[in-house]
Amino acid sequence: MKSFLILEDGTVFTGTHIGVQKEVISEIVFNTSMAGYLEVLTDPSYAGQAVCMTYPLIGNYGICRDDMESKKPWPDGLIVRELSRIPSNFRSEMTIQQFLEDNGVPGIAGIDTRALTRILREKGTMNGMITTNQTYHPDEIIPKLKAYTTGKVVERVTCKEKYKFPLTGAGLKVALLDFGAKDNIARSLAARGCDVTVYPANTTAAEILADAPDGIMLSNGPGDPKECTTIIEEIRKLYESDTPIFAICLGHQLMALATGADTFKMKYGHRGGNHPVKDLSTGRVYISSQNHGYVVNMDKLDPKVAVPAFVNVNDGTNEGLAYTGKNIFTVQFHPEACPGPQDSSYLFDRFIAMMQRT
């Protein structure tokens, strides 16, 4: 069946329909990872977005459930050049087609994904619609596309109730604030012996601190950080407690906003597994997994509060902060990888060492 991707700027791509038949409006972003489509699909940070994979051959190794980063796929839609006809991997349990259908995700295949990427690169991230309706009317659709925002999407992805992470350790107590956390954050901590408890995003600071954790982990998550106004207020309180804090991605942005810094939306963000980040404390460069559309504005940092700890080698944007006089460090990229390089997993060790010190 024919399917269409209609962009805010009026561009229309015609391809074939994949997944469930459903019309969606979403923010269109691209990811440059060559492997790890399942991790991308199950990353809650993609809630409110439809993701285009720049690698043209997707689904080659099927669906290996162990690789899921959450219980279900989150993107509003999947945009690919080609879906593999058969999956081939000893762990594969089903085809990606089946997975999309089972989970109600629509998508489009057979379009020139590189051309789409070039449009997003040149004009910036924009909204779009995936539809199988052949009689679409751009005049009606485009105003709708322009009006779309992801909104308070964290509320959609966070867990509803506090829970203990399964297979967790018995060591340091870590409170993981779930803004849309990828499972590998908790897994990485648990693997290092931590006793991880996951809290919904709207948990108050008082409630968390009452559990007396050894450290607090602020997770990744979707959307514009500035939408998370009440969460930011609570994070301010966590900042003021003396509990060690490590934050990733959205968590990093929220901590920055809570302490007086600013964030802005990037033209088309960083989404992929090949971005070099420099650890300013050692001068070493690591290849990182990235997925963010917003970034902390380095120009507005107060060095008395926080100083840059990591920087993106390519475009010089902020990739991490060290908080002055505090046991707090935060990163924009994803040390939990999945998908992507595991080069910066040492940051979890750094967090553990920090908790042990205090």
Partner 1 sequence: MPKNPNVNRVLVIGSGPIVIGQAAEFDYAGTQACRSLKEEGMEVILVNSNPATIMTDGDIADKVYIEPLTTKVLEQIIIKEKPDSLLPNMGGQAGLNLGMELDESGFLAAHGVTLLGTTAKTIRKAEDRLEFKETMEKIGEPCAPSLVVENIEDGVAFAKKIGYPVVLRPAYTLGGSGGGIAHDQMQLEEILANGLRLSRVGQVLVERCIAGWKEIEYEVMRDSAGNCITVCNMENIDPVGVHTGDSIVVAPSQTLGDKEYQMLRSSALNIINELEITGGCNVQFALHPTSFEYCVIEVNPRVSRSSALASKATGYPIAKVAAKIALGYTLDEIKNAITGKTYASFEPTLDYCVVKIPRLPFDKFITAKRTLTTQMKATGEVMSIANNFEGALMKAIRSLEQHVDCLRSYDFSALTAEELLERMEIVDDQRIYIIAEAIRKGINYDTIHRITMVDHWFIDKIAILTEMEERLEKEPLTVELLKEAKRIEFPDNVIARLTGKTEEEIKNMRYENGIVAAFKMVDTCAAEFAASTPYYYSVFGSETEVVESHPKKKVLVLGSGPIRIGQGIEFDYCSVHATWAFAREGYETIIINNNPETVSTDFDIADKLYFEPLTPEDVENIVNVEKPDGAVVQFGGQTAIKLTESLMKMGVPILGTKAEDVDAAEDRELFDQILEETEIPRAAGGTVYTAEEAKAVANRLGYPVLVRPSYVLGGQGMQIAISDQEIEEFMAVINRYEQDHPILVDKYLQGKELEVDAVCDGTDILIPGIMEHIERTGVHSGDSISVYPAPTVSEKVKETIAEYSRRLAKALHVIGLINIQFIAMGDEVYVIEVNPRSSRTVPYISKVTGIPIVDLATEVIIGKKIRDLGYEPGLQPAADYFAVKMPVFSFEKIRGAEISLGPEMKSTGECLGIAKTFNEALYKAFLGAGINLPKHKQMIITVKDADKGEAIEVARRFEKLGYIIYATRSTAAALNDAGVKARKVNKISQESPTVMDLILGHRIDLVIDTPTQGRDKSRDGFLIRRTSIETGVNCITAMDTATALVTSLENAETQEEMTLIDIASIARRGK
Of 20 and 64, which has the nearer Cβ to partner 1? Answer: 64
Q: Is 16 in the site for partner 1 (CB under 8 A)?
A: no
> Which of the residues 38 through 97 are near partner 1 (CB under 8 A)?
38-39, 54-57, 60-61, 64, 66-67, 81-82, 84-91
Of 164 and 284, which has the nearer Cβ to partner 1? Answer: 284
Active site residue 249: yes
Of 36 and 251, which has the nearer Cβ to partner 1? Answer: 36
Of 35 and 159, which has the nearer Cβ to partner 1? Answer: 35
Identify which range of 127-135, 163-171, 233-241, 268-276 contacts partner 1 by CB under 8 A.
268-276
Q: Is 339 in the site for partner 1 (CB under 8 A)?
A: yes
Of 10 and 56, which has the nearer Cβ to partner 1? Answer: 56
Q: Closest separation between CB of residue 85 and partner 1, Å? A: 6
Among 276, 322, 327, 354, binds partner 1 (CB under 8 A): 276
Rounded to whole angstroms, the Cα distance separating 84 from 97 reads 9
Q: Is 121 in the site for partner 1 (CB under 8 A)?
A: yes
Q: Tokens representing 195? A: 């006793």
Catalytic residue among 17, 270, 275, 334: 334
Is the Cβ–Cβ distance between 295 and 263 less than 8 Å?
A: yes
Catalytic residue among 52, 194, 228, 249: 249
Among 94, 209, 285, 354, binds partner 1 (CB under 8 A): 285
Question: Per-residue x/- mask for partner 1, residues 168 to 197, rule CB under 8 A?
Answer: ------------------------------
Q: Is 112 in the site for partner 1 (CB under 8 A)?
A: yes
3-state secondary structure the chain: CEEEEEECCCCEEEEEEEECCCCEEEEEEEECCCCCHHHHHCCHHHCCEEEEECCCEECCCCECHHHCCCCCCCCCEEECCEECCCCCCCCCCECHHHHHHHCCCEEEECCCHHHHHHHHHHHCCEEEEEECCCCCCHHHHHHHHHHCCCCCCHHHHCCCCCEECCCCCCCCEEEEEECCCCHHHHHHHHHCCCEEEEEECCCCHHHHHHCCCCEEEECCCCCCHHHCHHHHHHHHHHHHCCCCEEEECHHHHHHHHHCCCCEEEEEEEEEEEEEEEEECCCCCEEEEEEEEEEEECHHHCCCCCEEEEEEECCCCCEEEEEECCCCEEEECCECCCCCCCCCCCHHHHHHHHHHHHC
Q: Is 284 in the site for partner 1 (CB under 8 A)?
A: yes
Identify which range of 95-103, 192-200, 255-263, 313-321 contacts partner 1 by CB under 8 A.
313-321
Of 52 and 216, which has the nearer Cβ to partner 1? Answer: 52
252: number of CA atoms within 13 Å, CB side? 28
Q: Is 106 in the site for partner 1 (CB under 8 A)?
A: no
Q: Closest separation between CB of residue 10 and partner 1, Å? A: 15
- Report angle CA 182, 184, 189 to the nearest 5 degrees: 120
Provide the binding-site residues for partner 1, judged by CB under 8 A: 30, 32-36, 38-39, 54-57, 60-61, 64, 66-67, 81-82, 84-91, 112-115, 117-118, 121-122, 272-276, 278, 283-287, 313-315, 337-343
Active-site residues, by number, are 249, 334, 336
